[in-house]
Amino acid sequence: MRWLPAVVVPAVIAVAVVAVPMQAGAAVDLPDKTAQEVLGLVSDSTVSSFSGTLEQTSNLGLPDLGSALSSMPSGSGDSETDAAASAATTALELLTGSHTARVFADGADNLRVQVIDSLNERNLIVNGDEVWFYDSETNEATHLAIPADVHADARAELEDATAKAQAEAGAMPTPAELADRLLSDLDASTEVTVGTDTAIAGRDAYELRLTPRTDETLVASASIFVDSETGMPLSVDVRAHGQEDPAFRVAFTKVSFTAPDAALFAFTPPAGATVTEQALPEHDGNADHEALTEKDLSDLAAGDLPVTVTGEGWAAVAELPAGTVSAELTSSPLFAQLTTSVTGGALFSTTLLNVLVTDDGRVLAGSVPVETLQAAAAE
């Protein structure tokens, strides 16, 4: 499941899979490079400031969810349950149809993502030690701030809160973020080759193709399209077995490497907006704290839930314990619509991902056939 975004909402159907149609470009003939040279182009990239438009669609074999999303539970009175349901609904909206986002980045501490729907806009703004999330439909804003002198653990909380806000906002990851996830664990389980040169958002790009060396996965291949000048990934797609078109793709349709206006990272809630101040847990700055690893942050972003992983590489299976999915979610009409009863539980199935909610309440997920999930559940 290495192709998935870093933030996975702990619910059967809250998997933020996003994709975009590639902008067809004129034939491109770049100087030949080996796979190792294109990998070096990516790793040596120094791009830190850019802006652009991302578009996404998905071809996951799911029906149009439409009004069925309204059946997701809300207003339970439990803040964590309501937040999970809201994030699940947002993630599900990204599973079908097409979506557009504008992205602005300037260095490591300034980011703005605007997810644009027909009648609504969701904004995630990171400005130094501040994070804002604003939903124009509800006119609600959430704000989190960390003073410059707080303990490093609190800064880890800021990263966690930013990741969770990005998931709640339905803020699609950039191609660079997905490429980093795909490339961070490259090993002998993946064949890496150079594919066809193409044009993405008016830029010449190399195709770096990753092919699993196993038949025990739903993933046929993944492609990263790398800007030939800057080394920044401009598009990522993932193909499923038996499908001609990508099941998953996220790509720039417009991109600029000029630093965005600093004013884009300043945010003031509109008049009448409901503002919630997000508090950080207290930390003892004098106490000994072990540094949080990347895995720790991933676990935090997934909701502080213990995750057990079996299998390796593309055929890995992640298991979450009983209680991960609330009874409200599993009893909703949408859950019934999206899942199929199978031996041992209920199955949510797409062309790239299967999720099994077992009869005893566990959740198993992976880019593997359902039989693999059932076998893992029985162990």
The CA distances from residue 164 to 110, 158, 314, 324, in Å, are 17, 10, 25, 16
Residue 49 has pLDDT above 80, yes or no: yes
**Residue pLDDT, tens place only, 119-130:** 788 899 999 888
Write out the DSSP string of 112-137. EEEEE-SS-EEEEEEETTEEEEEETT
Model pLDDT, residue 306: 77
Model pLDDT, residue 15: 34
| Exposed e or buried b per residue across 95-115, where buried means at least 16 C-beta atoms within 10 angstroms of its C-beta | bbeebebbbbbbeeebbbbbb
Model pLDDT, residue 305: 59
Query: Could you tell me if residue 48 is left (phi over 0), alpha (psi between -120 and 50 degrees) or otherwise beta?
Result: alpha
Q: 165 by DSSP, 3-state: which? A: helix
Residue extents of the structural domains in the chain: 1-304, 308-378
Instruction: Give whichever of 90-99, 138-147, 279-288, 300-309 has the largest mean pLDDT.
Output: 138-147
Q: 232 or 302: whose pLDDT is higher?
A: 232
Band the pLDDT of 17: cuts 50, 70, 90: very low
Instruction: Give whichever of 22-26, 71-75, 335-339 has the largest mean pLDDT.
Output: 335-339
Question: Minimal CA–CA distance to 88: which of 104, 101, 100, 71?
Answer: 71
Residue 315 has pLDDT above 70, yes or no: yes
Average pLDDT, the chain: 79
Residue 64 has pLDDT above 80, yes or no: no
The long-range contacts involving 332-341, CB below 8 angstroms and separated by at least 24 positions, are: 332/71, 332/72, 332/73, 333/68, 333/71, 334/13, 334/65, 334/68, 334/69, 334/71, 334/72, 334/92, 335/12, 335/13, 337/68, 338/13, 338/62, 338/65, 339/12
**Residue pLDDT, tens place only, 244-287:** 889 889 999 999 999 999 999 999 999 999 999 987 655 444 44
**Rounded to whole angstroms, how far apart are CA atoms 23 and 229?**
19
Band the pLDDT of 363: cuts 50, 70, 90: very high
Q: To which residue do tokens 């599993």 refer? A: 330
Residue 238 has pLDDT above 80, yes or no: yes
Q: 58 or 228: whose pLDDT is higher?
A: 228
Model pLDDT, residue 147: 67
Band the pLDDT of 330: cuts 50, 70, 90: confident
Instruction: State the first-to-last Cα distance of the chain, in angstroms, to the nearest integer.
Output: 20
Question: Is the Cβ–Cβ distance between 368 and 214 less than 8 Å?
Answer: no
Residue 373 has pLDDT above 90, yes or no: yes
Residue 42, token pair as written in the block = 């990516």
Average the pLDDT over 67-83 and give the result: 49
Average the pLDDT over 30-52 and give the result: 97
In the CATH hierarchy, which top-level class contains the domain 1-304?
Answer: mainly beta
**Rounded to whole angstroms, how far apart are CA atoms 37 and 35?**
5
Band the pLDDT of 57: cuts 50, 70, 90: confident
Average the pLDDT over 60-83 and give the result: 55
Residue 117 has pLDDT above 90, yes or no: no
**Residue pLDDT, tens place only, 162-188:** 555 555 545 577 899 889 989 988 899
Model pLDDT, residue 24: 43
Paired residues of 55 in beta bridges:
100, 251
Model pLDDT, residue 18: 29
Question: Is the Cβ–Cβ distance between 148 and 94 less than 8 Å?
Answer: no
**Residue pLDDT, tens place only, 182-225:** 998 889 999 999 999 999 999 999 999 999 999 999 999 999 99
Band the pLDDT of 114: cuts 50, 70, 90: very high
Average the pLDDT over 25-35 and give the result: 85
Model pLDDT, residue 10: 33
Counting residues of the chain whose pLDDT is more than 90, the rounded percentage is 50
Instruction: Find the range with the poorest average confidence among 12-21, 44-53, 140-149, 363-372.
Output: 12-21
Model pLDDT, residue 8: 34
